[in-house]
Amino acid sequence: MQKKIAIVILNWNGVGMLQKFLPKVVECSAMEGVEICVADNASTDESVSYLQVNFPNVRLIVLDKNYGFADGYNKALQQVEAEYVVLLNSDVEVTKHWLEPLVEYMDAHPKVAACQPKIRSERNKAFFEYAGAAGGYLDKYGYPFCRGRIFDVVEEDEGQYDTIQPIFWATGAALFIRLKDYREAGGLDGRFFAHMEEIDLCWRLRSRGRGVVCIPQSTVFHVGAATLKKENPRKTFLNFRNNLLMLYKNLPEKELKKVMFVRGVLDGVAALVFLLKGETEAARAVLQARKEFKRIRPDFEDSRKENLEKTILEVIPERVGYSILWKYHARRKNVFSLLPAMV
């Protein structure tokens, strides 16, 4: 019998995170029709034995190698049947009744494909968390930002973003999505390995006329940067490369050349800034990301063609028509409430 909701936690060598956060997931997700699964990305620590001994009622999906975040979820969700799935990071602390507002909204709004709860920091619980906050947006040049977080400025949650709001992307840390929509859109792009893949997926959903929203009546707390530390050069490489791949896959034809030209300039500036700050590895990662993007771009031509053919909403309101870099650095608009209102 198909479950209503499958909560799927992807794990790789995260036994410490499972010990800390899984008990509360089990406790706070006790609803009829909910299945909790842990998909293990070929961990070499004690994760699997810990789950087998301590959580026999949690379904364990053992993958044969580390597929990364994107394909790890794709492989796991091939083995799941439910109306909704929640892609939940292993370092997320859920709260009592966190699922109810999400499922109630989705049941009542069939045109919405995906949503996210409000994401606050597990380390500093009064503040939003970097990866998702109260819902994600994209600027004209592909830079993501959130209600509650623009670049490194993270706001305190004072209820200022407690309205249910259409967004461009929902965080992969706690992504609540219809499994039918996930599969029809092609899932996460496994070629990304990790980073930006949820934004890419949400772009496909939005361009095909499906909705994405934030439901702040549900709150979870996210540790963040648990897999790769924020300043890790590998993370810098993946973020820059995958952002370029996402733009290439999804941008309307009339915007592609201009946006890619501007991004070339901006990425060069980013590399120079890293260099001037003495962060040589980060600067090298930016340049390597651009080189790798150019090398593998032909492999994404078919994906771009498919995305453009299936686009029914070329102008997406939540992909704003301005540069967030300009607003942030030149205009000092460093919190979401200072930005132009969403139409």
Report the Cα 222 to chain-centroid distance in Å.
13
Q: Which residue has the tokens 């993501």?
A: 144
Q: Which amino acid is at 41?
A: N
Residue 141 resides in a domain: yes
Angle at 20 between CA 92 and CA 57, to 5 degrees: 90
Angle, in degrees to the nearest 10, between helices 280-296 and 253-276: 160
Three-class DSSP category at 215: strand
Read off the CATH number of the domain in which 21 is found.
Answer: 3.90.550.10
User: What is the residue-level pLDDT of the chain in tens, covering all 343 positions?
Assistant: 789 999 999 999 999 999 999 999 999 999 999 999 999 999 999 999 999 999 999 999 999 999 999 999 999 999 999 999 999 999 999 999 999 999 999 999 999 999 999 999 999 999 999 999 999 999 999 999 999 999 999 999 999 999 999 999 999 999 999 999 999 999 999 999 989 999 999 999 999 999 999 999 999 999 986 444 556 899 999 999 999 999 999 999 999 999 999 999 999 999 999 999 999 999 999 999 999 999 999 999 999 999 999 999 999 999 999 999 999 999 999 999 999 987 5
Residues 137 and 256 both lie in one domain: no
- Domain containing 302: what range? 233-312
Residue 97 resides in a domain: yes
Residue 122 resides in a domain: yes
pLDDT in tens, 106-119: 999 999 999 999 99
Paired tokens of 284: 């090298």
Query: CB neighbours of 158 closer than 8 A, spacing ≥ 6?
Result: none
Residues 46 and 155 both lie in one domain: yes
Phi and psi torsions of 139, nearest 5°: -90, 180
Angle at 115 between CA 32 and CA 263, to 5 degrees: 150
Residues 261 and 166 both lie in one domain: no
Residues 132 and 262 both lie in one domain: no
Residues 139 and 239 both lie in one domain: no
Three-class DSSP category at 121: strand
What is the 8-class DSSP label of residue 153?
Answer: E
| Residue 145 near residue 318 (C-beta atoms within 8 A) | no
pLDDT in tens, 170-208: 999 999 999 999 999 999 999 999 899 999 999 999 999
Q: What is the pTM of this model?
A: 0.96
- Region of 224 (left: φ > 0; alpha: ψ -120 to 50; beta: rest) is left
Residue 343 resides in a domain: no
Residues 124 and 176 both lie in one domain: yes
Measured between alpha carbons, how far is residue 80 from residues 57, 70, 73, 87, 295 in Å? 16, 16, 10, 12, 35
